Amino acid sequence: MQEWTTEESAGLYQIGGWGEPYFSINAAGHVAVSPTNDSESQIDLYHLVQDLEKRGLSMPMLIRFSDILADRIARLNHCFSQAIKEYEYANVYKGVYPVKVNQQRHVVEELVEYGRPFQFGLEAGSKPELLIALSTLKTPGALIICNGYKDSEYIETALLAQRLGQTPIIVLERFHELHLVIEAARKLNIRPILGVRAKLTARGIGRWGDSTGDRAKFGLNAGEIVEVVETLRRNDLLSSLQLLHFHIGSQISAINVIKSALKEASRVFVELAQMGAPMQYVDVGGGLAIDYDGSKTNFRASKNYNMQEYAYDVVAAFQEACKAKDVPVPILVSESGRAIASHQSVLVFDVMGVSGMKVGTPEALRKGEHVIIQNLYETYTNISPDNVQEAYNDASQFKEEALSLFALGYLSLQERARVEKLYWASCERILRLVRELDYIPDELADLEQTMASTYYCNFSVFQSCPDSWAIDQLFPIMPIHRLEEEPTARGTLADLTCDSDGKIDQFIDLRDVKSVLELHPVNEGETYYLAIFLSGAYQEILGDMHNLFGDTNTVHIHLNPSGAGYQVEHVVKGDTMTEVLKYVQYDHEALLESIRREAEKALRDKRITLSESRLLLRHYERSLSGYTYLSQQPETEPALI
Ligand SMILES: *Cc1c(COP(=O)(O)O)cnc(C)c1O
């Protein structure tokens, strides 16, 4: 047998496809992280995790690589400046980060810092997000795009921010907001900078296809846009209208969808300019997709274009449309969230246990065994690459017959057990051969899933990757070590919740989707670590506390400027049980008091001994201040960080 190589693991898990240039496999068979995109400063993820555990941080943990975030922002800006240069576009790019994608303070603060050289701004989609943007963004000239439903308070706050030197642009999402804006501007005597969100007819596709089109929740149709212009003109505010916005949905996998939206939007832009609005900006919204499966296709978990092509298309569309009508080209704004925030976060968790079919080799045929057992045994021994389908049919039929015989009293329980063992051993053999086939017959396609093990994992799908549950989103998932070793097991992942939906059984594959993941058998006495990658966008805030599993431990890892090693920048300890219980209105002291009283009563009635009662109370109290996830080793020492 040939040795398994790390290259084979790389191919199997597609790490080159979705991980480039940040994630790869090193010679030790561990996942390596290159946050700054050069091999000099590689971090061994497995060693990092062990290091963090030594510091008292337990599983599961979310690791954010700050340098990846910095690289994503630099990359996006570089792509636009490249396109601007190449097309000799006579204006600039000024992106904004949509806060809703990941509102965690450390993330937003880092973003603002790394974005400063590019005058990168923030986008708010609600009042609380506006509050974050106003107090966090301190970059002169950077934009604050104010989206979402607005009331007078929202609008007045945005207007007043101009007095602080900010550049808030109020985007009209609904016609009704126009009157609120006119009123607020008059009341405060501040000239607003306004945008309109156009409802494009170019349809998005996929999950968020309804973000545009006639039935879209947000945006103004052509008639309403014309009405906005006329109303502003009448109120002597047309000079305020400076931005056109559109957003055709998230994770747009197909470039032609983006192209047709750009075409339509650039026409609207030119028309607005010709109607007399001093148009200065176009905001192309989000939608820049991530290649979760690395297939570079227009499959929903992928995209058939890259960031540079996207930038070229945006620049080209407005260059052409404006040139045609002799309108000055606008400042380009995009609200790419997923494309900026996804790569930075990796969720690492351990496997608590595995359950699966332990088939083993069946005993040899004994003299005088039932004829059905003889038949099945013969099928089992004769399985070959040429007869897998036939062998499977035979084995299944013999098993069915055996079950009928058992029901009728012609087969003992021992004999039935023998039949089942032979049947599963046959299936296992067949499956091994099927995996080598180019074409898998329909009847055998489910065999992989039927035979798969369940890996019980120390995390909650609902808390840490809710989109996997809610919208069947695919994330790259793989072991972070033992990658020099062939993963001989096949499994699906079950989480800690007691919800049967708390599982992952859809995995990335070059062709469509896989129902099982290649994994290693868990070695006795050794922790087996898996990780979910590209999870930095949306997952944290959409996550919920199903079964009261709270926020996970989170760390920010920052490379040392010297290039050697890394430093642990922020440690955000995950929720304690007291914290999640408080969220559902349970008071720590009241809970303790109640259990103490019950224990006293039990002591009095001699239902519990003194030492049992002491142990119970100690567990109860310690749990309250502990992490909501399971700890492999009992936590004896306090965290060192
Ligand atoms: C959600 C959203 C975005 C971010 O979209 P991504 O696909 O994550 O880039 C941008 N703009 C608006 C208006 C949004 O609602």
- Domains of the chain plus CATH, in order, are 89-343 (3.20.20.10), 371-447 (1.20.58.930), 578-624 (no CATH)
192 lines ligand 1 (CB under 6 A): no
Q: Give the three-class secondary structure for 272.
A: helix
pLDDT of residue 359: 77
Distances from the Cα of 442 to the Cα of 392, 436, 439, 514, 549, angstroms: 12, 15, 9, 15, 40
β-strands 507-508, 513-514 pairing: antiparallel
Comparing C-alpha atoms, which of 37, 107, 33, 115 is closest to residue 74? 115
Alpha helices in 105-144 (DSSP H): 105-115, 127-136
pLDDT of residue 561: 78
Distance from Cα 218 to the centre of ligand 1, integer Å: 12
Segments in the chain below pLDDT 50: 634-641
For residue 218, the ligand 1 atom closest to its alpha carbon is: 13
For residue 101, the ligand 1 atom closest to its alpha carbon is: 8
Which residues lie across from 171 on neighbouring strands? Answer: 195
Name the residue with the closest Cα to ligand 1, atom 2: 286
pLDDT of residue 560: 86
Q: What is the pLDDT of residues 186-213, one digit of tens each?
A: 999 999 999 999 999 876 566 666 666 6
Eight-class DSSP state of 574: P
264 lines ligand 1 (CB under 6 A): no
98 lines ligand 1 (CB under 6 A): yes
476 lines ligand 1 (CB under 6 A): no
Q: Tell me how far apart the alpha carbons of residues 280 and 331 are, in angstroms, rounded to a whole number.
A: 6
pTM for the complete prediction? 0.92
Q: Tell me how far apart the alpha carbons of residues 108 and 136 are, in angstroms, rounded to a whole number.
A: 8
Given CA atoms 254, 259, 262, 267 in this order, what sign does their dihedral have?
Answer: negative
336 lines ligand 1 (CB under 6 A): yes
pLDDT of residue 212: 65
Task: Identify the H or E element spanning 632.
Answer: none
pLDDT of residue 637: 41
Name the residue with the closest Cα to ligand 1, atom 4: 286
pLDDT of residue 443: 80
Retrieve residue 7's tokens.
């290259």
Eight-class DSSP state of 101: G
Q: What is the pLDDT of residues 226-270, one digit of tens each?
A: 999 999 999 999 999 999 999 999 999 999 999 999 999 999 999
303 lines ligand 1 (CB under 6 A): no
pLDDT of residue 357: 75
Comparing C-alpha atoms, which of 200, 171, 172 is closest to residue 268? 200
pLDDT of residue 203: 64
For residue 287, the ligand 1 atom closest to its alpha carbon is: 7
